[in-house]
Structure 1
Amino acid sequence: MYRKLENLNKIIDSGIVLIVRLPTEQASIKVAEAAIAGGITVIEIPMAVPNALGVVKFLSDKYRDKGILVGVGTVLDGETARAAILAGAELLVSPNLNPDMIKVANRYQAITLSGAYTPTEIQNTLEAGADIVKLFPAEFVSPNYIKSVLAPLSHAPISPTGGVTPENVHEWFAAGAVCVGVASYITKAAGQDNDYSKVTKAAQTFIAAVNKAKNQ
């Protein structure tokens, strides 16, 4: 199957992009692997993570053939986009619109999740060639914001990032979200005792909530 289409379907089918942003390289790998054990299939490693591209290469080499999609977050320019792809990333995420990032991603058939907030930014992001619009930061709006935006922009695939929980995720999907960006509920579940089994359990809980929301 066409790889990009397969990966895009993977994101939509799973409904979750897990953002793994931990203070060390090793912690990021451990949390990512624990989340994968819990059923997460789409992982984003932000560039703020120490040796982020090394983490991406490790996860991509180990899990790509096991159906896991590994991406890079906070991709702010074309140079970073190309470096991420060379490290094995098949998903590029940015908090804002950067046409060069999208151009490089499309050149090499990587998926883009590009940040926007207002209707104008959302439409500009789509016209630049992004695959999915990352509504960021979503914690300052309610799901009704997506519903209102989609009234005139029904063609926009929107993924809210920030403030999404198992308790409210059904509201975001009901409003029209195609997937959601998730972080601390899962990535910080290990707590100070570094019990990574709690990360696995948190991933399972969130996945169950998303599946229930998508089937309502």
Structure 2
Amino acid sequence: MNPTEFTTRLTRDRLAAIVRGRSADAALRTVLTLVDEGIGLIEVSLNTDDACEVIARAVREVGRDAFIGAGTVVTRDDLLRARDAGATWIVTPVGGDPVAAAVQAQLPVLAGALTPTEAAAAMTAGATAVKLFPASPGGPAYLRALRDPFPDMPLVPVGGVDAELAPDYFAAGAIAVGVGSPLVGDAAHGGDLEQLRERARRFRAVCREEGPAA
């Protein structure tokens, strides 16, 4: 997947799921359940148990039904391991080396930033979109304030985004939301997959209802 394809999919789906778990098998089951519920962008955090194997197995299982990314990529080595496992997009909580490595590898990268300076630097470095992280301290109002000087910057809030807050972030100008525990819950640790399905359906409905990004 190239950066243009990623941006198109992110803007269309408006939701990226974040899977982080203590059990590789449970994490894989979580990924496959999310795909079964129609979620097409799924990040497997590298601090998941045996994360690269989870990514590799998920890529083999889902084919083109979903795009599996790697998250918590903080070094160039992380990037290379994720790429070799088959990750088709990258998420990092920081700028610098992992962003440069992803750009060099021609992988879409959602680069972490919080301040205006960090966000601008991420885009200058070649980020496909900016992961506004952590989003919770400033909330939708902060994202809206960032849109004033950066009206065309693709912003994706991550951290504390639940189904009730997602519409407020969309109204503030987010192109999508990245969601971990409010969506995944304890599924990636071996929790109830039926409850995961219910949460997935709720999030998908919220994202569809909001329509095109502002």
TM-score in terms of structure 2 length? 0.93
CA displacement at 1:19 relative to structure 2:
0.5
Equivalenced residues, count: 213
Partner of 1:88: 86
CA distance in 2, matches of 1:155, 1:22: 34
CA displacement at 1:104 relative to structure 2:
2.2
Partner of 1:50: 49
Q: Aligned runs of 1:15-54 on 2, under 5 Å? A: 15-54=14-53
Partner of 2:207: 210
Q: Percent sequence identity over matched residues? A: 30
CA distance in 2, matches of 1:160, 1:7: 16
For the 8 Å contact 2:17–2:43, the answer to whether it is kept is: yes
Q: One-letter code of the match for 1:95?
A: P
CA distance in 1, matches of 2:42, 2:189: 22
Do the aligned partners of residues 191 and 51 (structure 1) sit closer, same or farther apart at CA in structure 2, a change above 3 Å counting? closer
CA distance in 2, matches of 1:192, 1:101: 27
CA distance in 2, matches of 1:194, 1:117: 32
CA distance in 1, matches of 2:150, 2:138: 17
Partner of 1:121: 118
Please give the root-mean-square deviation of Cα atoms over the aligned residues, in Å.
1.9
Secondary structure class of the residue paired with 2:161: coil
CA displacement at 1:3 relative to structure 2:
4.2
CA distance in 2, matches of 1:177, 1:215: 10
Q: 1:7-53 deviations in whole A, cap 9, x for unaligned?
A: 33112211111000111101111111111111111111111101100
- Provide structure 1 residue ranges, at least 5 long, that are not aligned to the other structure: none
Q: Does 1:64 align with 2:60?
A: no
TM-score in terms of structure 1 length? 0.92
Partner of 1:76: 74
Do the aligned partners of residues 125 and 176 (structure 1) sit closer, same or farther apart at CA in structure 2, a change above 3 Å counting? same
